[in-house]
Amino acid sequence: MSTHEQSAAEAGLSRRTMLRGTALVTGGVFLGGAADLGTARGAFAAGEPTVYHRGDWGARSAKRTAQVLSSGPDHIVIHHTATANSTDYSRDHAFALSRSIQRYHMDTNGWDDIGQQLTISRGGHIMEGRNSSLPAIRNRRHAVGAHTANHNAHTIGIENEGTYTSATPPAALMDALVETCAWLCAVYGLKPDSAIVGHRDYNVTSCPGDKLYALLPQLRRDVSAALARIEMRLAAPAPQPVPEEHLPSFPEVPMNERAVAFAHGPALGPADPTR
């Protein structure tokens, strides 16, 4: 085994040990139980960041309305878009990014709609992705997307603009990512240490890139701190242990995956209910 391969194997072992160890200590990642939804919306409003809805960025009509599940997701999957690291941090650029991703997902991939539930631009603008995502989150439900093969029914995906195989995400993006993850953890009753994972933790892919992936431990710490600051006027959702099959499997990361626009690894599989 080469030094490079050994380092990769050790990295895979360490992330596997860390996240599975956290699941054992905490009794698994927790997702929200039943609660008065009207009260929940008011209680979590203080933690909701500014999210531009589909009408803001000019989304096309989906081929089909997203399937909305009554139970929330138990993991938050971090992706990169595998697109250019633009220096245009404007809102107009962010909206154009969402339109281009939707165009690619629907016209090239043949999907029902844009795949991810949320998109964050390099300027830190947060946008609703798949149709029904924002109201589903506000109601502690889950609009099923297409972003992590065979795990879309129980995961919510955040696409972060850029390619982070060797570049570091800008501060504005990371700040918005912390804010977004803290909001999702508050809504769904998730533990940041075990709920926030990278795409490569489930599928054979280099997504979200080595640089962004290396920032996930700090992201979890920052989200935990932000979560503690969110004003809670409602008891946390009733915890439920996550099924074993929902936990990350940590497949091998391909070292020679080509950097192709929008190519960030498997997004759909036979176990997924929609496309």
- pLDDT tens profile 252-270: 666 555 555 555 666 666 6
pLDDT at 2 > cutoff 90: no
261 assigned to some structural domain? no
pLDDT at 25 > cutoff 80: no
Is the Cα torsion angle 233, 156, 82, 14 positive or negative in sign? positive
266 assigned to some structural domain? no
- Supply the mean pLDDT for the chain: 82
22 assigned to some structural domain? no
Residues written for the chain: 275
Query: What is the tens place of the pLDDT at every residue in 100-109?
Result: 999 999 999 9
Using a 10 angstrom Cβ sphere, with 0-12 exposed, 13-18 middle and 19 or more buried, the burial of residue 17 is exposed
Distances (CA, A) of 130 to 79, 98, 160, 248: 15, 10, 15, 23
Predicted pLDDT at 14: 45
Predicted pLDDT at 241: 77
CATH code for position 185: 3.40.80.10
Predicted pLDDT at 95: 98
270 assigned to some structural domain? no
Q: Which domain, by its residues, includes 206?
A: 31-58+71-245
Domains contained in the chain, number? 1
258 assigned to some structural domain? no
44 assigned to some structural domain? yes
